[in-house]
Amino acid sequence: MALAIPIISSEVSQLPDQTHGALTPPEHRSSAPPHEQVNASLKSSENPSLNHISDPEIVNPLNESPTSKMREEIRIELRRRWHEIREGELSRTLRWAWDSDSSYGMLSVGMLSVDSSVKSGAAAVKSELLGKFCNKPTTLYWAHSAQRNDRCPRYIWGCIYKEWFRCHDYKPRMDFEHFFANPVRITSTGPTTIFDILETHEYLHNQTSLLLDKIRRGELEKSRMSACLSPQNYKLSPTCRAIIIVLDKLASREDDKFFSGGYISLDEEVQKQNVLMVRTGDESGLSEPINFESVRERALPLARPDLNPHDGIEAIRVTLATAVGFVVDLQRREELAFPESAPSSAVDRALGPTPHHPKESSASTTNADEWVDKLMEIADDEGVDNVWEVRMAVSTVNAMHRGESRPFEIGLYFGNSWR
């Protein structure tokens, strides 16, 4: 049975190849604020493309085969959907990982919280939290002085997330928890000086390295951590040992923006917020020493009484945007110098997409093209109505040919108050 698609126009124009989700390149993004995009998406009665159930033109395919150009447009939309689904799952996972309130948040199972007992080894750190240091080029230590009532405002993560995508040309490596940094929240009794933070980092990094060694030797063969942290896909980057980020003060008050009815501009905040980049002194695994000269002209006053040239600690204060770009470039340099350290090409099954059709499962864990091939094959055999993702793609393609905007996806767990 050939794929029957409701073609609504005899003149078919090529749609842009949007292969990513919430953080698409600027030329493919809507300029409307998030609340306007959300409101538009909810007005399905005014937008036929969203009435997937009640619109007979969408639900009931015409008895004619689509042109090859139309099929390619649907394939483009499905490929975009593949990346959108995986990006959405990544943002959901990271949202919880950067949550200082949740039991699944910042290294308290999400965001790790450290006090004075951690550095001495008096308090054990959960293995699942140590695993979060893997596949990150650096670690961000969130000083107590930069918290609000012991909370770490999550818009900082939003700033990093968006800038990280931009630095990777909107195509970052997302599989197996790859991200810019692992956050560590410092409690009111935790380390306060840069020297003490560096000691804490050395201890946590060493504990993570020991955990990975035990997994490689098979000593934790029956543990859940052994199954999760496969040595092929989870690695401790040498850059993570060599450089840390310290967030020691907030440039803005998040609650002021909310109470005034405004929205947080992540692009503005990432340039306004500043952080410290600190060399740890252990660069033995790097191709060459870290050098801050490339960003020296953008340096801000250190404003730290515990940092002076006689301490032997090299640090520089820069904007958060500069720090993200510097670390991304450092990671690229090391991967070029040591190709074997580059991420594996394996696909992380945890990011999806989740199958909606029994025959779809074999394609949900491979790559975008194979997933699209499988969906189109099922739709050819069983009809568009029986393959949810294809049905959605057809609806979107038809809507765009009617001159309508792409429906705005809510559910990416990014932040409806951010833009």
- Percent of the chain past pLDDT 70, that is, above it, reads 68
Q: Is the pLDDT of residue 17 over 50?
A: no
pLDDT digits (tens, 9 = 90+) for 265-295: 889 999 999 999 999 999 999 999 999 999 9
3-state secondary structure of 230: coil
Q: Which of 63-77, 317-331, 354-368, 397-411 has the lowest mean pLDDT?
A: 354-368
Taken in order 146, 147, 148, 152, the sign of the CA dihedral is: positive
Q: Is the pLDDT of residue 22 over 80?
A: no
Task: Look at residues 338, 323, 244 and name the one whose alpha carbon lies nearest to residue 288.
Answer: 338
Which long-range contacts does 342-349 make (Cβ < 8 Å, 24+ apart)?
343/135, 343/173, 343/175, 343/176, 343/178, 344/176, 344/232, 344/233, 346/175, 346/176, 346/232, 346/233, 347/175, 348/174, 348/175, 348/176, 348/233
Contact 207/226 with Cβ under 8 angstroms?
no
pLDDT score at 326: 99
pLDDT score at 216: 83
pLDDT score at 119: 57
Q: Which of 11-15, 135-139, 163-167 has the lowest mean pLDDT?
A: 11-15
Residues contacting 84, CB < 8 A, separation 6+: 20, 21, 22, 409, 412
Q: Is the pLDDT of residue 29 over 50?
A: no
> How confident is the prediction for the chain on average, in pLDDT?
76
- Measure the CA–CA gap between 123 and 110, rounded to whole angstroms: 17
pLDDT digits (tens, 9 = 90+) for 77-124: 999 988 888 888 888 888 888 887 655 555 543 467 776 666 555 455
pLDDT digits (tens, 9 = 90+) for 392-414: 899 888 888 888 876 655 334 55
pLDDT score at 141: 96
pLDDT score at 374: 87
In the numeric block, the tokens 């993702």 are attached to 389
pLDDT score at 60: 35
pLDDT score at 127: 72
- The H or E element spanning position 308 is none
pLDDT score at 399: 87
Task: Look at residues 24, 86, 78, 39 and name the one whose alpha carbon lies nearest to residue 376.
Answer: 78
pLDDT score at 369: 87
pTM: 0.78
Q: Is the pLDDT of residue 174 over 60?
A: yes
| Residue 225, amino acid | M
Mean pLDDT of 8-17: 40
Q: Is the pLDDT of residue 233 over 70?
A: yes
